[in-house]
Structure 1
């Protein structure tokens, strides 16, 4: 039995094996669980997504724990399942107190409490302190900052003031890592998630990072000390990484380096601390397109790479200046390209990047410009060229679209806002491409190409002590790179063709014919790429097997 059960529903957006995704623990639940546990409250985490649990199994596990409180996190994709889970759990005899949290629930709190009587409270914003106070004071919730709640007797909904941001992040206990423990026991590969700072000092119009972590006021940026971060990494290194079960560590900070001198100094101190303790785990960070520059930051990048920095995810969004202005990015395309080239030269430009190809103000010219940019950097996957702006509750763009008559009138709490495009032709094109993302051929285009691009360097590393094997791999690697370039060119060509078709009003039957031709070519190219990678694997396996046999013969002689 547990006092509290924390649940992450299974959103089923990827087949982890087929789409080549590793298991990922839910950092938010781990942080809340650690805070509750430190306060003497027993907690069980049930991560349906990480463990691939059906809704029925998840509910059964939760009820078996007989908790007094159930906390459920979700985004808009998993909202319906989260509500169904809450409804089922609320119907049992002991009727546990049910609260929900996370970014989507925070900004949809009014509607959730109005429409779902079995949800007792919403934890808004940072959840560590709020969750502890909610459980310790659930009979008198009026003094708990950071919640909207339903009075148990009257049913009336009350909105308490939002909680001020936690000033010292070092005070938060390290996240519980239940999923990593599971993966260790079952010998599965996993990914580590970390938050080294909270907030963002920028105010992009499509993003909540600027406000979510400080709803009740406080600093825009709060950073953990390098020593505190290194203490946690040291534990993760000792407990998990040394058992070869960790693929990579992701720093989920909205902007790891914000471009300021203070931010760069902090990052450098963290890198030194990691190197000093010899607790290096390959990690990826998120940055803006102008966070670092070749003129000022080569020394910083060098020390971060020594500390384990292996890739950088850039929030590119678009390479059309008009789009960037709509998004409130406050960045010039020239600066962004200079930063990207700098990261490529240092071999840390990530395999995936942040893209928003379509938005309500998209133009055909802007779409072409961004598509050309993606082709230049081998980022022209179908996925990247079909992504549409997701308008989350609470972002600034909502008011702009509303004032211009582009925002749809109604939002359900299980959805992001829907909107109209200024150009009906571009809206039709966007809807057509998004619908194609469910096609297995398109799924493979994204998954296999991304997987191969990431796996080949790792394969080279695994045989780095065998120059004769590496020599055998080079010709295959050249063919792989050629095939990846060919797939990017195929995707770009199709996208540009579709732009011209919708721009000039080509009949739908012709557009459908282009799609069929494209899918046929894409299927063949992606299969060829997969076969080339398998050739590389077979070459390594055969060469290593021959070495083992030769060594045994030598030992016998």
Structure 2
């Protein structure tokens, strides 16, 4: 039995112009790789085609899949990549009608079995965590899906779910993701420029789920609980990456890396004791950090901490997430900087209830904070997010799946226009990065992140061409 996994490219930029994003930020498809490793550990052969790392699309991708002669094909799709993945599934079914085609990932889990009523080239859906579900489906020869929890299938022509799949209680029972199945790993993959001190680097996920209830977050795959790898497992994972692939820096891509304080404290102690030559970045919530924890993070090799700030308008924040005082944000970020860590702020523009005035407050607020860099996303109401149910009442929503990638304004709040939002977005980026303090910060990267500088210079023509197109 051979299962071939496909990570389709989809739409990853602004709808027009060159897509330069994969040049400067390409992370491996960890969810798919975890399932592949789980199947391999149980005797099933797997292969992976990551269309970001190995650019293949359309007929060429379908031909490559068929050339490898798999017994089944599994697609992992976001909302923006789903339709491209489905076009490949249609091509496969035209040439091999008997080939089982399975879809999983965020879009399949959030939309659910209704997809089977509209997209006939899909045979099965994996709803929720995929390791046990896909293994049991493959072990059964892709027959009798009604007996396998977590499988979406057709009964009398209509999509139905066999039964909900229980979550994996102990994540330490999972093997490390199948990094070895990615051609060019780690050379072809890279964290965002100037977000790491050294290379090669990669991303790691050490927990699943989130107990918070932000309006814009889709939790349809891993649910709202919180499960995590033990500190011992994480250290062995990092040691494996360093030993087998030379990895020297990782980004813990967990939503809540610092949620369980005892876990983080123990991890920091173990990394100090092992003298592991791997540094790291993480994402944290401001309410989880204090001076003592920050000192531990710094000593154990933490280089940068990312914080989801989202907005500088208190009323907007109260509508969409647990409120955290804006003055307290400033204090905590200064604490992080004092500990010797870089700070990245994560913001969002175009949330329901926003106005030009509230967005300008966010821009001014971001400029007042001690941030080294920012990431600004364009609010996208994904099907699995709580806000999706009432989004049509709060503005104009153009539900074009290929554009739903947080890089396009598919939603416009009442009282605003898309042109306004685009102008404010560009102003946000321009005002933040065209400041002498930020320029000096990147100048210091000449010795703090030399690989980023070399990578940046190698692709400078593409950057300048993109900047001209965006009129920043």
* Alignment of structure 1 residues 89-488 onto 2, 5 Å: 89-93=92-96, 95-137=98-140, 138-151=142-155, 154-178=156-180, 182-183=184-185, 191-209=201-219, 212-214=221-223, 220-241=225-246, 248-258=249-259, 263-292=260-289, 297-351=290-344, 353-377=345-369, 384=376, 387-402=377-392, 405-406=393-394, 411=399, 416=404, 419-423=411-415, 425=416, 428-431=419-422, 456-461=443-448
Counterpart check, 1:77 vs 2:77: no
Larger radius of gyration: 1
> What's the counterpart of residue 3 of structure 1?
2
Q: Shift of residue 156 of structure 1? A: 3.3
CA distance in 2, matches of 1:274, 1:180: 27
* Alignment of structure 1 residues 499-538 onto 2, 5 Å: 519=471
Gap change, CA 1:354 and 1:268, over 3 Å in 2: same
Moved more, 338-347 or 198-207: 338-347
> What's the counterpart of residue 497 of structure 1?
none
Q: Shift of residue 93 of structure 1? A: 3.0
Q: Can you give the 5+ residue segments of structure 1 that lack an aligned partner in the other structure?
A: 464-515, 523-557
CA distance in 1, matches of 2:314, 2:449: 42
CA distance in 1, matches of 2:205, 2:371: 27
SS at match of 2:95: coil
Gap change, CA 1:185 and 1:460, over 3 Å in 2: closer
By relative contact order (CA 8 Å, sep 6+), the higher-ranking structure is: 2
Gap change, CA 1:30 and 1:462, over 3 Å in 2: closer
Q: Shift of residue 119 of structure 1? A: 0.4
SS at match of 1:250: strand
Conservation of the 8 A alpha-carbon contact between 1:180 and 1:240: no
Q: Deviations over 1:462-493 (max 9, x none)?
A: 89xxxxxxxxxxxxxxxxxxxxxxxxxxxxxx
Gap change, CA 1:392 and 1:233, over 3 Å in 2: same
Q: Shift of residue 318 of structure 1? A: 0.4
Counterpart check, 1:40 vs 2:43: yes
Number of aligned positions between the proteins: 435
CA distance in 2, matches of 1:58, 1:450: 46
Conservation of the 8 A alpha-carbon contact between 1:4 and 1:70: yes
TM score, norm. by length of structure 1: 0.70
Conservation of the 8 A alpha-carbon contact between 1:25 and 1:191: no
Gap change, CA 1:83 and 1:343, over 3 Å in 2: same
Q: Shift of residue 451 of structure 1? A: 11
Gap change, CA 1:13 and 1:419, over 3 Å in 2: closer
Conservation of the 8 A alpha-carbon contact between 2:80 and 2:402: yes
Q: Shift of residue 147 of structure 1? A: 2.0
Conservation of the 8 A alpha-carbon contact between 1:199 and 1:222: yes
CA distance in 2, matches of 1:332, 1:205: 18
Q: Where is the helix percentage greater, Structure 1 or Structure 2?
A: 1
SS at match of 2:49: strand
Q: Where is the strand percentage greater, Structure 1 or Structure 2?
A: 2
Gap change, CA 1:133 and 1:18, over 3 Å in 2: closer
TM score, norm. by length of structure 2: 0.81
SS at match of 1:112: helix
